[in-house]
Copies of this chain bind each other. A is one copy, B any other.
Amino acid sequence: MNSASFDFAPLFPARLPPPVARWTGHVKYDFTGGNNDSDGLPLEGLITATEAVLRREGRTLSTYGLNSGPQGYRALREFLVTKLKADAGIACSADDILITSGSLQALDLVNATLLERGDTVIIEEDCYQGSINRLNRLGVTPVGIPLERDGMRMDALATALDDLKRKGIRPKYIYTIPTVQNPTGTILSVERRQEMLRLSVAHGVPIFEDDCYCDLVWSGERPPALYAMSEHGGAIHIGSFSKSIAPALRVGYIVAPWDVMSRILALKTDAGTGALEQMVLAEYCAANFFKHVPALRRGLRAKLQTLMESLNEHFGTTAEFDEPKGSIFLWVKLPDGVDTMKLYQPALAAGVAINPGPEWSVNKGHSRSRMRMCFASPSHEEIHQGVATLAEICRREFGVLAPGEKS
């Protein structure tokens, strides 16, 4: 086959995103991506659960949606009803839940249900790159609200909503990652949650709550979900098993009122999320989830400790960060002279991958010298060596001082 002969280029729509480059493998010190701690994977438990559930009801795999219909494996939705009540305070039924292919499909489905080109939404100023990219691709304008240690600033949210109202713009939603925010690791306080809900109702703007990191709070205690606190039903809640069990499984979920759910279901055109993973998760989690997650968190917290110690050792006071109360990433501020977009390439050339701040923020000035460092996947040794290597690059490329060194 002469693949050069047929020219597909004239057939591509104008708005198609640029082509991707070929994948070249993992880097040596990878501080990017929501990969989890492989030592924390409950492998034996998953194997046992798989055999049990397949022996009991494996033949249902021959039917689309098993015997559970289009919203996903019923036993998994029933586990989620229990889990969401126990930790997030959400009172819902299995009929309010849709199982998705990770919380990324949940993001895409909620966006497709609510957004069209030209719309405006409110997000946290520093925000998950995948959410920002989706909005850009959809032609939707994100209005960023600054964050503090207690999460999104409610005075700034009120001002933004008022400003938009004056311009005749009703944002389609307030998107928030309230519980272990990405990338800042902040947790929205209960008081701010109440205020956000008040503003949501006052302006008729629903809350889109992305709770995919909520299981990672070290104390195991989290504020109630906005979805749980809402008295008016104006919230959509999404979550994931990627951070609590394993990301490659690709199992997430949406909790939404039926008038939204019935619209979302019309857009889920993939005939269901992978059934084997749903079955295995339901079987495993019903018996083990609440024992497994604290053990996983202990391992993650130890890696965070290693990361913070390494940063202190190799950067000293030139790397600033707030210790998060739970997370798989650290939002690090380097000296103002460092442009992390320009740090990215030389770091990668030295085998260190980081997330440059401007890719995780709609405020390019504020995020210019910041970076996100994910710590769940690399080993303690890799964290140490990777940070040491990164510090060398920062000294070489940007003249960042070594600890104790004076300018």
Residues of chain A whose beta carbon lies under 8 Å from any beta carbon of chain B: 1-9, 11-23, 25-26, 33-41, 43, 46-47, 50-51, 54-55, 58-67, 69-71, 91, 95, 101-102, 104-105, 108, 113-116, 130, 134, 172-173, 201, 204, 206, 230-234, 246-251, 257-260, 262-263, 265-267, 269-277, 280, 376-377
Contacts and interface: CB of A to CB of B under 8 A. Distances in A.
A1 B69 CA distance: 26
A113 B104 CA distance: 19
Nearest to A23: B69
Contacts of A69: 23, 25
A123 to B, nearest CB: 16
16 contacts: A2-B232, A3-B257, A8-B259, A16-B266, A19-B262, A23-B69, A26-B67, A61-B246, A101-B101, A101-B270, A101-B273, A102-B270, A134-B269, A250-B274, A250-B275, A274-B277
A178 B138 CA distance: 35
Nearest to A50: B50
Contact of A233 (B5, B60, B105, B265): B5
A62 B43 CA distance: 10
B5 A234 contact: yes
Q: How many copies of this chain sit in the oligomeric assembly?
A: 2
Nearest to A13: B116
A115 B14 CA distance: 10
Given A25-B69, A247-B63, A8 B58 contact: no
Contact of A36 (B46, B62, B67): B62
A314 to B, nearest CB: 26
B8 A271 contact: no
A108 B59 contact: no
A19 B263 contact: yes
A16 B276 contact: no
B62 A247 contact: yes
Nearest to A33: B64
B13 A63 contact: no
Nearest to A233: B3
A35 B271 CA distance: 11
